[in-house]
Amino acid sequence: MKRGAGNRQKVIIVGAGPAGLLAAHMLADHADVTIVEKGRDIGRRTCEVMKGKDCIYCNACSVTAGVGGAGGMSDGKLNLNPLIGGDLVDFIGMQRTQELFDMVDDYFVEHGAPGEVPHVPSDGLQQSAAANGIEFIPIKQKHIGSDMLPRVIGSMKADMEKRGVKFLLNTTVESVTAQNDKASGVVIKGKHYPADYVLLAPGRSGSTWLGGQMKKFGVPIKYMPIDVGVRVEVPAVVYEEAVKTNWDPKFRMHTPTYDDLVRTFCTCPYGFVVQDTYESGVGANGHSQRNCRSNNTNFSFLTKIGLTEPLENTNEYGSTIAHQARTIGGGKPLLQRLGDLKKGQRSTWERLKRSYVEPTLRYVTPADISMALPHRVVTDLLEGLDMLDRVVPGVASDATLLYAPEIKFAAVRPETRDHFETAVVDNLFVAGDGAGVTRGIVPAAAMGIACAEGIIARIEK
């Protein structure tokens, strides 16, 4: 039943990442919406080491919490191809996913993201990739830049606040409550906050927590594969041709020895490598800005790992790798020249100095990454880089830098019905990377919209 403006139904959204924000945007005119976010406001997320510099980049912190979510401090690459960034298409089909992606794009453009991007033909790259057994996926992409994205997110938040959305920041939701298998609210600092609908969008960092809530309610969950690999850094000139066609060119290949899938991900042209922090260790990540360039390009090079029995929990396996890398690196990410890895020798600052690629992240331990990553992963990466070198000459040169580990932990995927309402608890919805369906700003935001549409349909009934 539709209620009057003074008696609107209450929706609590957990997480102010892209999924939570776009859901709130859709719901603002239909319900009394509160977003609870454990992190800080977007303007207050700037890291200490970034203060007071003209051309800033952060080497010492990795903030995944706060308004904007993991995406708030990110590179702001908007990938607009439904086949990139998770499995939304498997749930709602290609056409609907594309429509939702367009809605997300429109909202970002409304708040300052670039409008139309010129199409650059990629036939040459595609041909060269195909001739070398590599799949190149041309995609429509936009780049906002980590220096511009906070403004875009801030503008979205201001718009939603104007339309009545409340933001409860620096506040962690402890648990979700339900009565007679229907969501009834959340608990914060031991106090119950009632709601008619609860949408969980806690991102990858909140995925374990989400899994725990699902187990509590008996919602079946599935462990998804993780990605393990390195952040590769090369002189920008090496990747120049490739990034002319796509800012973040997507290459996928199967390696000869193990027939494993290896892919490039999150390319940061003229970018900076940054430290990432996992529960069990540290790793590498990257970003590039719109108005500040380094001389290098970095990208993530990852191999997919799925497990069956006796250990299905891929995250547990990923954690042991992160832990091992932390032990070897004394708490810092590892850095090795590709040439040293091939020779089976540890990189040292002395050897790194001889290389003409200057690392953009110096808070690292020069090391031997084969001491930290499983043999199978190292083999996949070496073979994959050799394959890629035939399409992007120079990428597998001895001077290429490898930062390890880079791990994309998997979220658990709860069983859901239409609009991502959980299979067991009514009025409880899940969205974004934390629900194991998406991997990226646009898909996460699109899934948030899909949930919001389900809630609106129920409210308007």
Ligand X SMILES: Cc1cc2nc3c(=O)[nH]c(=O)nc-3n(C[C@H](O)[C@H](O)[C@H](O)COP(=O)(O)OP(=O)(O)OC[C@H]3O[C@@H](n4cnc5c(N)ncnc54)[C@H](O)[C@@H]3O)c2cc1C
* CA gap 440, 142 in Å, rounded: 13
Residue 407 tokens read as: 């791990």
70 binds ligand X (CB under 6 A): yes
Candidates 77, 142, 263, 413: give the one binding ligand X (CB under 6 A).
Answer: 77
Q: Which range of residues in 24-32, 152-160, 295-303, 435-443 is near ligand X by CB under 6 A? A: 435-443
**Among residues 140, 167, 141, which one has the least CA distance to residue 153?**
167
366 binds ligand X (CB under 6 A): no
In one-letter notation, the amino acid at residue 407 is I
Question: How many other C-beta atoms lie within 10 A of the C-beta of residue 306?
Answer: 12
Find out whether 71 and 149 touch, Cβ atoms under 8 Å.
yes
Find out whether 138 and 122 touch, Cβ atoms under 8 Å.
yes
17 binds ligand X (CB under 6 A): yes
Interface size with ligand X, residues (CB under 6 A): 42
Candidates 23, 234, 334, 441: give the one binding ligand X (CB under 6 A).
Answer: 441
Candidates 134, 139, 152, 173: give the one binding ligand X (CB under 6 A).
Answer: 173
* CA gap 106, 387 in Å, rounded: 38
Residue 75 tokens read as: 């590179």
Candidates 211, 281, 283, 432: give the one binding ligand X (CB under 6 A).
Answer: 432
145 binds ligand X (CB under 6 A): no
* CA gap 447, 97 in Å, rounded: 9
Candidates 98, 126, 155, 172: give the one binding ligand X (CB under 6 A).
Answer: 172
Contacts of 49 (CB under 8 A, 6+ apart): 58, 59, 60, 61
Is 251 or 368 the residue whose CB approaches ligand X more closely? 251
Candidates 9, 34, 79, 289: give the one binding ligand X (CB under 6 A).
Answer: 79
CB of 409 to ligand X, least distance (A): 11
Provide the 3-class DSSP secondary structure of residue 156: helix
CB of 288 to ligand X, least distance (A): 9
Going 160 to 164 to 167 to 173, the CA torsion angle's sign is negative
Is 39 or 384 the residue whose CB approaches ligand X more closely? 39
Candidates 37, 147, 260, 340: give the one binding ligand X (CB under 6 A).
Answer: 37
**Among residues 298, 297, 315, which one has the least CA distance to residue 306?**
315
Is 173 or 234 the residue whose CB approaches ligand X more closely? 173
Q: Which range of residues in 14-22, 52-60, 249-257, 321-329 is near ligand X by CB under 6 A? A: 14-22
414 binds ligand X (CB under 6 A): no
Candidates 285, 296, 416, 422: give the one binding ligand X (CB under 6 A).
Answer: 285
Is 421 or 433 the residue whose CB approaches ligand X more closely? 433
Is 378 or 431 the residue whose CB approaches ligand X more closely? 431
CB of 24 to ligand X, least distance (A): 11
Q: Which range of residues in 13-21, 213-221, 223-231, 376-384 is near ligand X by CB under 6 A? A: 13-21
**Among residues 276, 283, 294, 292, which one has the least CA distance to residue 239?**
294
Is 38 or 332 the residue whose CB approaches ligand X more closely? 38
Is 197 or 387 the residue whose CB approaches ligand X more closely? 197
Is 193 or 370 the residue whose CB approaches ligand X more closely? 193
436 binds ligand X (CB under 6 A): no
- 3-class SS string, 360-420: CCCCCEECCHHHCCCHHHHHHHHHHHHHHHCCCCCCCCCCCEEEEEEEECCCEEECECHHH
Residue 109 tokens read as: 């453009």
E runs forming strands in 236-311: 250-254, 261-268, 272-278, 281-287, 296-305
Candidates 42, 243, 266, 407: give the one binding ligand X (CB under 6 A).
Answer: 266
Find out whether 396 and 348 touch, Cβ atoms under 8 Å.
no
Find out whether 168 and 35 touch, Cβ atoms under 8 Å.
yes
Is 69 or 82 the residue whose CB approaches ligand X more closely? 69
Beta bridge partners of 252: 135, 263
Residues 186-225 that bind ligand X (CB under 6 A): 201-206, 209
Find out whether 59 and 361 touch, Cβ atoms under 8 Å.
yes
Q: What is the DSSP string of 11-53?
A: EEEE--SHHHHHHHHHHTTTSEEEEE-SS--GGG---GGGTT-
CB of 62 to ligand X, least distance (A): 6
Is 141 or 184 the residue whose CB approaches ligand X more closely? 141
74 binds ligand X (CB under 6 A): yes
Is 19 or 33 the residue whose CB approaches ligand X more closely? 19
Residues near ligand X (CB under 6 A) are 14-20, 36-39, 64-66, 69-71, 74-77, 79, 172-173, 201-206, 209, 266, 285, 287, 432-434, 439-442, 444
